[in-house]
Structure 1
Amino acid sequence: MADQNTVLILFGLLFLLILLRMPIGVTLIAVAVVGIGESLSWRIAWASLGTVPFQFASNWVLSSVPTFLFMGFICYHAKLTQGLFEAARVWLSALPGGLAVASVFGCAGFAAVTGSSVACSAAMGKVAVPEMNARGYNVGLATGTVAASGTIGALIPPSIILILYGIIAQVSINQLFLGGIVAGLLTALAYVLVIIVRVKLNPDLAPSFHEEVTGRERLIALANTWPVLLIIFGVFGGLFSGVFTPTEAGAVGAFLSCVVSFFKGTLTWQALRTSARETLVTTSSLLVIAIGASLLTRFLALSGLGDVLLEAVLALGLPAAAIMVGIVCVYLLLGMILEPIGAMLLTLPIVLPIVEETGYSLLWFGILLAKVLEVGMITPPVGMNVYVIKSVVGKLTTTTAIFRGVMWFVFVDLLILALMIAVPGLVLFLPQLLG
């Protein structure tokens, strides 16, 4: 076992470098290698640097990450998702705050082909916020709704967070996807409820408008969502029926998105090149961070710090629920300064043994973790979704106003997290039913 003081100093250095905005993947790799070298042996450190990246990157399930990313980028750049908001608008505009409600369901539909919070917020922000602004909606409600609804992208499959968690925690990705559907729909319904209640209490937030929409117009709007619906049913129908694995599902989704956009006439060379480039850049970034997290796991195992922390937590004698609330609070704090995937991969080597020892299901924890990490996407000071919306709307409003708008949804998210901890079966019933 390595000297604990040396280990603690290195972990302090790790967080300091992250706060200084050093790339998290490079920081993880550097600290892990130095830690193994200084605490144990530089021969072991160099051997780990040679073997751990290969062992992680050779995991076949990882091939689903670039294919799902490519599917999402194609759907975005080939404009396959444009009909989602319009369909939601004509069907839901009669509700109080109908356009905001439509934005929530538009983001949920977009999430089913992207798995990215940022992409959901950016795409829906360009369409929904100008529409709500033209109708006289309160700018905080409009921008806050889209920023918060974008977080559904990490819950509804294909979620990159859930894929990476499943690989690291050795949990079925199929079952994580099923649980993510429940958590995503629960979040969407909760957001809709808070919008309707707020508008009912203060109608000035979203002036009502009476738009005569015929049944034929509703059916046409619904029919215009066929590209997304075809991809969703093709990918997840085959996935959950057992026709193909999650790894194969990504390839099927990427193929379907290209075929559908080709026949729709929106697959340009520019869209194809941009999607390929963004897929390569995003996949490379994720792999560097994940390899760093794998090296950190090796460092923890060799140093014995993981066992020390586990014993310290268990020695507190707290109920399992209290320990879980503490873990959630730590992630909420990390979410304020780190992006979700980095925060997850940084902490999983320490947190997973504690979760297992307290008796919680790793499947349930993965879904809870995806939810709590996404809260960080709308909380200051980082709040990536907020800054994405700000870049979309420009001078229409301020960043502070958007943060004020999302605070209602942050409060709802905290209630959902409390419900998930109090009733774990809420998100587990679908995986147990179909698993």
Structure 2
Amino acid sequence: MDPVTAALAVFALMLAVLASGMWVFLALATAAAVSLFAFMGFPPDRIGAIASRIIVRSASSWELAAVPMFIWMGEIMFRTDISERLYKGLAPLVSKIPGGLLHTNVLGSTLFAAVSGSSAATTATVGRITTNELSRRGYSQSLALGSLAGAGSLGLLIPPSIVLIIYGVLAEVSIAKLFIAGIMPGLMIAAFYAFYLAVRCYVSPELAPKGEIDAEDARAGAIFRNLAPVLGLIAVVLGSIYTGWATPSEAAAIGVFAALMFAGLSGQLSRTMLRHSMTNALKTSCMVCSILMCAAFLSSAIGYMHIPRNIALAIDALGLSPLVLIALLAVFYIILGFFLDGISIIVMSLPITLPVVVAAGFDPIWFGIFLVIMIELGLMTPPVGFNLFVIQSISGEPIHRVAAYATPFFLLMCLAGLLMVFFPAIALWLPSVLG
């Protein structure tokens, strides 16, 4: 069987198993086992030995310790008043800019992304405050919900990012460098969104009516107090990583401690809150880690079949330019985003695409950031756009209307991905300086 046919057969098998309704981790393990049995002729006992060895090794990865910690930190923050404080602190800073309080979606999501690591948590936490406030003040519903859909996806790109941790583990690259590489692209996309909102509202002022800001909230001391929890967590988590004082996993634990301290000092820490945050974090962590372990098994199965090496040789024989290759991969990932979540996209495709991309001369750190941007695009596209579902639950708007509102921000993120291709230094300059 030629390499392209073998890759398509394995991918079709994964999609078929997923379409049956089977859990993702079981689907990955099933696809790996069936591939080894059907295409390689391995007996069941050898397949079991390979699976057990790979799964145990993956489960023992120290880098994965960061995943449950960052998830727990996000759960703690979600159950505090940090989003309300964030809104009150940002509102006086943006009220005079064209677009006014619409910018709280962009700035609030950008800041909260730097402590949550999750797009869904960022969208839900920021949206539950800003959506009601913007609607009450008469702001454009399309811009309010569209900017939330776009900016909420930054939770995957701006560090600390759970998806970047997963990519780093699977691609065997530095997670700290991935975190550094995500800063400038994330800020660039946030700047695009803010600029778009300002221009739209400058041309059509009725989209963002002027409103009064509470005089008490507008005082410098009040602004600092309201922004201090988020800024403090950012400084603690990212500062400990970039100064070399802690690894990403250790920084995640420090972040959880800081979040608990904030909840306790603000009087919001209770047994009920602690139990609910730990329970949800445990469920999510088990889901993510089980997918990663089975993805490692699938990666090994694909390696046994020599699919990555053979595909790389086949593509090299076609003589495709690097730009054509990355354009095809971009379309491929956007299509996958219509149907799959980000973690599934990474673990299913990376064993095949990463060797090809590296062979074409692309830096794996750069490709990790580019891949996350492609995944973020999927968060804004139906039928499986998670950000759209979160916003639908918050606002009550139909999913197709939320998707339409998000379209301009989808296109702006496409522009960011295009600029990344032509100017790789957007992602690679900062790691080269700080790494």
Report the Cα offset of residue 2 of structure 1. Answer: 10
Report the Cα offset of residue 156 of structure 1. Answer: 1.1
Report the Cα offset of residue 379 of structure 1. Answer: 1.0
- Spell out the pairing of 1:29-178 with structure 2 (5 A cutoff): 29-38=29-38, 39-42=40-43, 43-178=45-180
TM-score if structure 2 supplies the norm length?
0.95
Query: Is residue 81–residue 228 contact of structure 1 (8 Å, CA) maintained in 2?
Result: no
Query: Is residue 83–residue 129 contact of structure 2 (8 Å, CA) maintained in 1?
Result: no
Q: Report how many aligned residue pairs link the two structures.
A: 433
1:307 maps to which residue? Answer: 309
Distance 1:134 1:281, change over 3 A: same
C-alpha separation in 2, matches of 1:364 and 1:402: 31
Query: Is residue 118–residue 385 contact of structure 1 (8 Å, CA) maintained in 2?
Result: yes
Q: Kindly provide the CA deviation profile for residues 66-100 of structure 1, in whole angstroms up to 9, marking residues without a partner as x.
A: 11111111111133343112111111011121111
1:240 to 239, 242, 247: 242
Structure 1: gaps (5+ residues): none
1:410 lines up with 2:410 in the alignment: yes
DSSP 3-state at the match of 1:51: helix
Distance 1:3 1:44, change over 3 A: farther
TM-score if structure 1 supplies the norm length?
0.95
Query: Is residue 227–residue 260 contact of structure 1 (8 Å, CA) maintained in 2?
Result: yes
Query: Is residue 380–residue 386 contact of structure 2 (8 Å, CA) maintained in 1?
Result: yes
C-alpha separation in 1, matches of 2:284 and 2:2: 35
1:343 maps to which residue? Answer: 345
C-alpha separation in 2, matches of 1:365 and 1:164: 14
Report the Cα offset of residue 221 of structure 1. Answer: 2.4
- Spell out the pairing of 1:270-281 with structure 2 (5 A cutoff): 270-281=272-283
C-alpha separation in 1, matches of 2:426 and 2:69: 30
C-alpha separation in 1, matches of 2:198 and 2:4: 53
C-alpha separation in 2, matches of 1:314 and 1:135: 57
- Spell out the pairing of 1:293-304 with structure 2 (5 A cutoff): 293-304=295-306
- Spell out the pairing of 1:367-386 with structure 2 (5 A cutoff): 367-386=369-388
Query: Is residue 108–residue 153 contact of structure 1 (8 Å, CA) maintained in 2?
Result: yes
C-alpha separation in 2, matches of 1:214 and 1:130: 21
DSSP 3-state at the match of 2:379: helix
The one-letter code of the counterpart of 1:132 is: L
C-alpha separation in 2, matches of 1:7 and 1:105: 42
The one-letter code of the counterpart of 2:304 is: L
Query: Is residue 155–residue 184 contact of structure 1 (8 Å, CA) maintained in 2?
Result: yes
Q: Kindly provide the CA deviation profile for residues 50-76 of structure 1, in whole angstroms up to 9, marking residues without a partner as x.
A: 111101011111111111111111111
Query: Is residue 94–residue 210 contact of structure 1 (8 Å, CA) maintained in 2?
Result: no
1:28 maps to which residue? Answer: 28
Deviates more, 1:20-29 or 1:358-367: 20-29
Report the Cα offset of residue 21 of structure 1. Answer: 4.2
C-alpha separation in 2, matches of 1:72 and 1:12: 35
DSSP 3-state at the match of 1:378: coil
Query: Is residue 92–residue 218 contact of structure 2 (8 Å, CA) maintained in 1?
Result: no
C-alpha separation in 1, matches of 2:343 and 2:98: 36
C-alpha separation in 2, matches of 1:152 and 1:249: 20
1:14 lines up with 2:30 in the alignment: no
Report the Cα offset of residue 351 of structure 1. Answer: 0.7
Deviates more, 1:96-105 or 1:408-417: 96-105
C-alpha separation in 2, matches of 1:262 and 1:213: 28
Report the Cα offset of residue 155 of structure 1. Answer: 1.0
1:284 maps to which residue? Answer: 286
C-alpha separation in 2, matches of 1:391 and 1:3: 44
- Spell out the pairing of 1:207-246 with structure 2 (5 A cutoff): 207-209=209-211, 211=213, 213=215, 217-246=219-248
Deviates more, 1:222-231 or 1:364-373: 222-231
Distance 1:206 1:303, change over 3 A: same
C-alpha separation in 1, matches of 2:5 and 2:352: 17
Distance 1:3 1:222, change over 3 A: closer
Q: Kindly provide the CA deviation profile for residues 237-287 of structure 1, in whole angstroms up to 9, marking residues without a partner as x.
A: 121111111111111111111112111111111111111111111111111
The one-letter code of the counterpart of 2:18 is: I
Query: Is residue 34–residue 45 contact of structure 1 (8 Å, CA) maintained in 2?
Result: no
2:326 to 324, 329, 336: 324
2:390 maps to which residue? Answer: 388
C-alpha separation in 2, matches of 1:349 and 1:173: 18
Deviates more, 1:41-50 or 1:98-107: 41-50
Query: Is residue 179–residue 430 contact of structure 1 (8 Å, CA) maintained in 2?
Result: yes
DSSP 3-state at the match of 2:415: helix
C-alpha separation in 1, matches of 2:190 and 2:60: 36
Distance 1:21 1:208, change over 3 A: farther
Identity of aligned residues (%): 33
C-alpha separation in 1, matches of 2:402 and 2:98: 21
DSSP 3-state at the match of 1:176: helix
The one-letter code of the counterpart of 1:428 is: L
DSSP 3-state at the match of 1:225: helix
C-alpha separation in 2, matches of 1:103 and 1:10: 41
Root-mean-square deviation (Å): 1.9
- Spell out the pairing of 1:175-194 with structure 2 (5 A cutoff): 175-194=177-196
Report the Cα offset of residue 419 of structure 1. Answer: 0.1
Distance 1:6 1:430, change over 3 A: closer
DSSP 3-state at the match of 1:224: helix
Query: Is residue 3–residue 311 contact of structure 2 (8 Å, CA) maintained in 1?
Result: no
Query: Is residue 165–residue 366 contact of structure 1 (8 Å, CA) maintained in 2?
Result: yes
The one-letter code of the counterpart of 2:190 is: A
The one-letter code of the counterpart of 1:192 is: A
